[in-house]
Amino acid sequence: MKDNLLVMKDLQNKLPNLSILLSEPLSKHTFIKTGGNGDIFIKPKDIHELQTIVKYVHTNEIPLTVLGKGTNVIIKDTGIRGVIVSLEKFNHISVNGREIHSGSGANIIDVSRTALSFGLTGLEFACGIPGTVGGALIMNAGAYGGEISEVLISSTIINGSGEIITLREGEFQFGYRNSVFAKENYIIVDAVFRLEEGDPEAIKAKMDENTFLRESKQPLEYPSCGSVFKRPPNYFAGKLIQDSGLQGTRIGGAEVSTKHAGFIVNVDNATSSDYLKLIKHVQKTVKEKFGVDLETEVKIIGDE
Ligand SMILES: Cc1cc2nc3c(=O)[nH]c(=O)nc-3n(C[C@H](O)[C@H](O)[C@H](O)COP(=O)(O)OP(=O)(O)OC[C@H]3O[C@@H](n4cnc5c(N)ncnc54)[C@H](O)[C@@H]3O)c2cc1C
């Protein structure tokens, strides 16, 4: 693989205004505040810059990782090699009749608040999900009976070789916390959501109810990555962990939340290694007690 300085110079020759950070601490970009350094960290400002970066890394066989708000990732303490792209500058949101158009770096919470202010219903479920639109599409994020698959009608992506493609309804292959975007490693550039006209007071009441449920059940006072494990068929991960007596179990600074057993919280300067050891311990204990395999919902990324 090319030397990092050479990659930086090559990219700056192609895109003179591109700002590139070398050895960026990725703990600054994850919700749990852990993770090692990223070799080459870039925040492109538009689709042209993004496409140029993707074509360059494809040609030079350099690994590429996309980060949203880092609310659903654990980045290993050894960090990430190659290029890391943050799409936080792709944060536009606009409304056209019943459709909301947004960049993949916009916060899904802001998109749901925009829907409220235009009296559009369908995104109330997303009002407390702390990630970006890109992360929400990848994960088919959902809560309180709603999920992204119900409202997405199109999305522009860039594939691994740098082609720009627009996907439409019927092409998203949505499943439980899964999508064509995840399966094909597509880079999500933007999204269009189709909503229904609704009563602003009813929309607000639903969002307030969801917020109340979230605040009363989730340990929002600590850094976390949300629900660590997927819901296993016929069970609830949190209940299995609770019934295994694991709440309060701590490794280093990471602790199985005493408020919601499905969350692991960073209570005291945890490292990603603390998180990963605790995840393994929870999986082993639940398997021994109930014979159920817990699969992680959170994405574990990074290199040795
Ligand atoms: C307190 C808390 C509560 C949560 N509640 C919920 C909930 O109710 N429901 C729910 O579904 N989730 C929930 N989550 C998890 C998380 O917020 C969602 O999965 C969110 O959609 C992830 O978005 P993100 O931008 O943070 O993605 P990241 O964590 O940055 O990335 C997640 C994955 O998506 C990829 N990715 C991100 N953006 C792009 C892009 N533009 N193109 C291609 N790939 C991309 C990353 O490479 C990574 O693999 C919660 C998390 C926390 C911390």
Domains, the chain, ordered by start? 4-86 (3.30.43.10), 93-202 (3.30.465.10), 219-301 (3.90.78.10)
Cβ–Cβ < 8 Å for 176, 297: no
CA distance 16 to 191: 28
Residue 1 pLDDT greater than 80, yes or no: no
Residue 177 pLDDT greater than 90, yes or no: no
Cβ–Cβ < 8 Å for 100, 113: no
CB-defined site of ligand 1, < 6 Å: 31, 65-73, 87, 104, 129-132, 134-136, 138-139, 141-143, 187-188, 218, 220, 224-226, 299
Give the tens place of pLDDT for each residue, 16-35. 999 899 999 999 999 999 99
Give the tens place of pLDDT for each residue, 254-300. 999 999 999 999 999 999 999 999 999 999 999 999 999 999 999 99
How far is the centre of ligand 1, averaged over its atoms, from the C-alpha of 14 (Å)? 31
Question: Atom of ligand 1 at shortest distance to CA of 181?
Answer: 43
Of residues 86, 179, 227, 244, which has the active-site annotation? 227
Average pLDDT over residues 140-161: 96
Which stretch of DSSP H or E encloses residue 194? strand 187-194
Q: What percent of the chain has pLDDT over 70?
A: 99
Q: Residue 6: its pLDDT value, please?
A: 95
Backbone phi and psi for residue 71, each to the nearest 5 degrees, phi listed first? -90, -5
CA distance 144 to 126: 9
For the chain, the average pLDDT equals 97
Average pLDDT over residues 204-226: 96
Give the tens place of pLDDT for each residue, 68-85. 999 999 999 999 999 999
Q: Which region holds residue 91: left if phi is over 0, alpha if psi is between -120 and 50, else beta?
A: alpha
Q: Residue 280: its pLDDT value, please?
A: 98
Q: Residue 92: its pLDDT value, please?
A: 98
DSSP one-letter code for 296: B
Q: Note the helical H segments in the chain.
A: 4-14, 47-59, 108-117, 133-139, 180-183, 200-217, 237-243, 272-290
Mutate to test the pocket of ligand 1, among 29, 109, 139, 222 (most ligand atoms within 8 A of CB): 139
